[in-house]
Amino acid sequence: MDFAQADAVNQAIRLLSLRHRARIAALLAPLGLHPGQEALLLELARTGPMIGAQLSEALGVEPPSITLMVRKLEAAGHIRRTPASDDKRASIIELTDSGKALADQVKQLWCALAEETVAGLPARTAAELPGLLNTLTGNVDTRRSRPARP
């Protein structure tokens, strides 16, 4: 790949990432949420109660970030923490009724954002997009080791 093509790919991904995050922030603000908190709510809605380390792994973020999000969402009454029975250092994190209702609102917002994002794409391309993006994510995932390239 020459520089012009590499630059075009990297700039497109960078701009999409920046604009998508800004759009998410704008959509979440009326709900009193910040980017990242919606992913935590949706993960708990999808999987049920989890400990912080599991959330960290599932969301691909560092444990201190999970701790901060949990504190803020707990203060707002959307989640609760209870001590884990098998590890007193860990807490089980779960949605409250308020958190479940908020997660339902986020799901609606998430659908609208996805539709907005893929507007104008052929249905087949939109259907293939998650797989393509997951491949790209895997290609640059710093958490996995990969052999050095010559």
143 lies in some domain: no
CATH of the domain at 29: 1.10.10.10
**What span, in angstroms and rounded, lies between the C-alpha atoms of 104 and 45?**
9
At residue 6, does pLDDT exceed 80? yes
User: For the whole model, what pTM was predicted?
Assistant: 0.86
The answer to whether position 20 is within a domain reads yes
Q: Strand ranges (DSSP E) for 3-147?
A: 50-51, 79-83, 91-95
The structural domain count of the chain equals 1
Q: CA–CA separation, 25 vs 136, rounded Å? A: 23
Tokens in use for 65?
């970030």
In this structure, is residue 144 part of a structural domain? no
- Kindly state whether residue 147 falls inside one of the protein's structural domains: no
Mean pLDDT, all residues of the chain: 93
Range of the domain at 94: 3-137
| Percent of the residues in the chain that have a pLDDT greater than 90, as a whole number | 85
DSSP-derived secondary structure letter, 82:
E
Could you read off the pLDDT of 86-96 as tens digits, one per residue? 887 889 999 99
148 lies in some domain: no
Give the pLDDT confidence score for residue 84 in this predicted structure: 87
Q: Give the pair of three-digit tokens for residue 41.
A: 């709510």
Give the helix, strand, coil percentages of the chain, each rounded to 5: 65, 10, 25
In a domain, 44, yes or no: yes
**CA distance to 36, 50, 92, 105, 145, per residue, from 101 (Å):** 17, 18, 20, 7, 39
Predicted pLDDT at 147: 55
Residue 145 lies in a domain: no
- Let me know if residue 123 belongs to a domain: yes
pLDDT in tens, 26-73: 999 999 999 999 999 999 999 999 999 999 999 999 999 999 999 999
